[in-house]
Amino acid sequence: MRLAMVSLGSCLGCQMVFLSMEDYLFSLISENSVPFAPFVVDRKGIPEVDMVLVEGVIRNGDDYRKAKQARERSEFLVALGTCACYGGVPGLADMFSEERMMRRRFGADASFEGEPQGVRRLLPVDSYVRVDAYLPGCPPPVELMRSFLEFSLSGTLPSREGSSVCSECAVSGVSLPQAGPHRTTDAEAAEKKCLLEQGFLCMGPLTRDGCGAVCVSESGIPCDGCRGPSDAVLKHPALDPRAETLRRLTRATGKKPHEVQDAIKDPAHSFFRYCLAEALLRRRRPGGSAPFLYRLGERE
Amino acid sequence: MEYVEKVEPLIRIDRDRCVGCFECVDICPQVDGLEFPVFVRGDDGYPRVACEESCIRCLSCEVACRADAIAVEAGDGTERYGPADARAQLKCAAMF
């Protein structure tokens, strides 16, 4: 099978995962042909392939042309990483209009002549081209990517019924109510205990499983939702990530809902860090279906 | 004494997924002050379905479960929020 890897606007972290597969990468390259992959082979132009892994977001016209070319020249197109599946961290740019964002980043007197035209609003790759399979993760865990490639290179594109990160998490409960809500920088979390019940904002209940919940169970870091929304969040239009998390934090801390809500300063970053650009969640974003949501206090 | 027909198992708790947060016990309207509560706190740290006949099929437990461990069979076959968006269904079906 011929396998290619195309990188659009991204941090190239998914490419590093591709390289991190180590011994499997050697057997993959020897058994299949990899004619186009930025970190593996040096070649200009996407050739005809059977499967192409696309990572990153479509930020400007160049990215769009590259994605379209990848679609035309391959039989299967796989969206690799949360950026390609849901917009990921670059999707947070939807908080600003394109012009505001460029001015903010490059200064008021910057000139963009001759630069590729940027998109007005960022959207996941599947809003532009047809996508056959998704592998979310920021970046996808090495083992998950390896099993995905093993399945897909044998001929069938895999999919699995997703649950939430909590179902994989190996922590135990604590007696309620607890202090909070607080952040990991302000308070010390007890080891191997549920972080949400200790008053930390953990997105585990609403995030797709598959990572093994290593952040929460092994390192004591609250889940920030890097695998994207779970099946339940995607399918049920009334399930609001903010309301669900506030309800759980209210139960854990025993405080009033508005007190908990006031403690969370940046709802867009807290609840939609990796999926702000996802069209299915658009009505549930902090700014509703408005094209751009400005950060608090920055509206002119 | 009136004969009560035994209902089919309505509520299933997946032990492999359950994390023992007892959110279902807290949110269920048919627990507090009832002689036959739907859920009870089991001694092993997991909730247990005690009396399914008390269940009113409000599906609060299924929605609230953070680990997606509870499945309540809505007897009439209706879906919780109506049929899901076609795009969401396609996306979920292709997700790994």
pLDDT in tens, A173-207: 788 888 878 888 888 888 888 899 898 999 999 99
How close A275 comes to chain B (CA, Å)? 14
What's the mean pLDDT when you consider all of chain A? 87
Q: Assign residue B59 the CATH number of its domain.
A: 3.30.70.20
Structural domain ending residue among the three candidates A126, A153, A180: A153
Of all residues in chain A, what percent are helix, strand and coil, respectively (each to 5)? Answer: 40, 15, 50
Of all residues in chain B, what percent are helix, strand and coil, respectively (each to 5)? Answer: 20, 15, 60
Nearest to A234 among B21, B88, B96 (CB): B88
Q: How far apart are CA B89 and CA B87, in angstroms?
A: 5
- A 10 A CB-CB count for A290 gives 11
In a domain, A297, yes or no: no
B6 touches chain A (CB under 8 A): no
Structural domain ending residue among the three candidates A153, A185, A215: A153
Q: What is the pLDDT of residues A222-262, one digit of tens each?
A: 999 999 999 888 888 878 888 889 999 999 998 898 988 88
Which H or E run includes A25? helix A23-31
Are residues A280 and B87, on separate chains, in Cβ contact within 8 Å? yes
Are residues B92 and A162, on separate chains, in Cβ contact within 8 Å? yes
Are residues A280 and B88, on separate chains, in Cβ contact within 8 Å? yes
Which pTM was predicted?
0.86
Structural domain total, chain A: 2
Q: What is the pLDDT of residues B30-43, one digit of tens each?
A: 888 888 899 999 88
b vs e for B31-57, b when ≥16 Cβ sit within 10 Å of the residue's Cβ? beeeeebbbeeeeeeebebeeeebbee
Are residues A197 and B21, on separate chains, in Cβ contact within 8 Å? yes
B52 touches chain A (CB under 8 A): no
Q: Please list the residues that pair with A55 across neighbouring strands.
A: A7, A80
Q: What is the dihedral of CA A1, A44, A86, A193, to 10 degrees?
A: 80
In a domain, A8, yes or no: yes
Which amino acid makes up residue A116?
A: P
Query: Would you state the structure tokens that stand for residue B14, as one six-digit string?
Result: 């997946």
A299 class by beta-carbon count within 10 Å (0-12 exposed, 13-18 middle, 19+ buried):
exposed
Q: Are residues A107 and A138 in the same domain?
A: yes
How close B51 comes to chain A (CA, Å)? 24
Q: Please list the residues that pair with A4 across neighbouring strands.
A: A36, A52
B63 touches chain A (CB under 8 A): yes
ipTM of the complex: 0.81
CB A281 within 8 A of CB A275: yes
Q: Are residues A8 and A142 in the same domain?
A: yes
- A 10 A CB-CB count for A250 gives 18
Are residues A205 and B66, on separate chains, in Cβ contact within 8 Å? yes
Quick one: pLDDT at residue B9? 61
